[in-house]
Amino acid sequence: MSTTDIWVIKKDLRTHKVVEAEDLMAKDLADGQIVMKVDRFAMTSNNISYAAFGDVMQYWDFFPAEGEWGRVPVWGFGDVVRSACDDVPVGERFYGYFPMSTHLLLEPSNVTDYGFVDNAPHRRELVATYNNYTRCATYPSYKAEHEDAQMVIKPLFATSFILDDFAADNDFFGATSVVLGSASSKTSLGLAFLLHENRLGIDVVGLTSAGNKAFCEGLGCYDKVVTYDDIASLDASVPTMMVDMSGNAQAIAAMHNHFGDNLKYNCLVGGTHWEKIALDHGDLPGPKPIGFFAPDQFMKRAKDWGAAGLQQRMAEAWDQFLTPAGQWIAIQHSFGPADSAAAYLEVLNGNVSPDQAHVLSVNAG
């Protein structure tokens, strides 16, 4: 039985192929290595952002392919099916960062009761956040019945949480209104919820497509929702911060041109509109758009609060968000390489409604 991967062309994300790779179930393992069967993973616009910014942010480097091809990173659950590592036995289940594959070879290090870090040579210099694998059996907030929500929403909610903290930590840069670009995205939903619940005096404005406007308005966490072609209807005299998950260069320019110096900060986060991304926005009125790198704020808060304090705050926020998120989003499951690739293309092409999400497995159901 070979290992099956789904590869995509880095510069043409729609072009993909199913690859029969080295059989990790038959491979001779070096001391300390393990093989995980990738059981299930989520496919959301967050993963499209990983692909869209794959070269700039080194996302392609976590799971290398060949030449022009790349492997899109995903968040999911895996089970240890082979082990040459005494501290990570066969049968254990982990949550972490995977490729769209049936199996993954890992080299655990820094093994604790709660998980390990992959010490594969090509990952050692990459962002540590993405190299951690969490033991399901011992992690305090793990619940088997919440696995779908954890895969689909929690990686995005971690970004929502730290964005909310970053904005508040900087007093919203003097803004009294926060505009969220791609308001129907999962990251925006989490951030809008936290802002609405916890930040009195801050208006939360959603910026979205006409087709998603009613959905966003019905959530109850946006004070106002406008479409991309209606940015001019916003009050340009209000000090405003933008948090953009879309990467839509036209919308970003429209916000800068409309608000000018009253746009106090523009925080670039994602690329849900991946075909409209501009890596250089040129000269725009107001502040220069700044890319947000979540690990920096996480490291700051780990120093401020301690690792346990940070995890506790995140867990409390997650528990607060889990119930409404479960009501807003329905999960669709797909199995096997063909159906998984088809679901990837649906997300890539923007054909998934905001109240739905995909959980996939390249392994057959």
Does the CA dihedral 316-317-320-326 come out positive or negative?
Answer: negative
Joined together, the tokens standing for residue 316 give 């409390």
Share of the chain above pLDDT 90, in %: 74
Q: Give the mean pLDDT of 106-135.
A: 95
Q: What is the mean pLDDT of the chain?
A: 92
Enumerate the domain spans of the chain.
3-153+329-361, 155-295
Give the model's pLDDT for residue 129.
85
More confident: 295 or 196: 196
One fold for both 3-153+329-361 and 155-295? Answer: no
Please determine, for residue 95, whether its predicted confidence score (pLDDT) is greater than 70: yes
Q: What is the pLDDT of residues 5-63, one digit of tens each?
A: 999 999 999 999 999 999 999 999 999 999 999 999 999 888 988 998 899 889 999 99
Angle between helices 45-52 and 186-198 (to 10 degrees): 110
Q: Give the mean pLDDT of 143-150.
A: 90
The highest-level CATH class for domain 3-153+329-361 is alpha beta
Give the separation between CA 208 and CA 334, rounded to whole angstroms.
28
Q: What is the pLDDT of residues 58-89, one digit of tens each?
A: 999 999 999 999 999 999 999 999 999 999 99
Residue type, 336: G
Q: What is the pLDDT of residues 290-329, one digit of tens each?
A: 888 888 999 999 999 998 899 889 989 998 998 888 888 8
**Superfamily (CATH) of domain 155-295:** NAD(P)-binding Rossmann-like Domain (3.40.50.720)
DSSP state, 288? P
Q: Give the mean pLDDT of 224-233.
A: 96
Residue with tokens 């919203």: 172
Give the separation between CA 193 and CA 201, rounded to whole angstroms.
14
Residue type, 128: A
Please determine, for residue 105, whether its predicted confidence score (pLDDT) is greater than 90: yes
pTM (two decimals): 0.80
Residue with tokens 């926060």: 178
Residue 271 binned pLDDT confidence (cut-offs 50, 70, 90): low
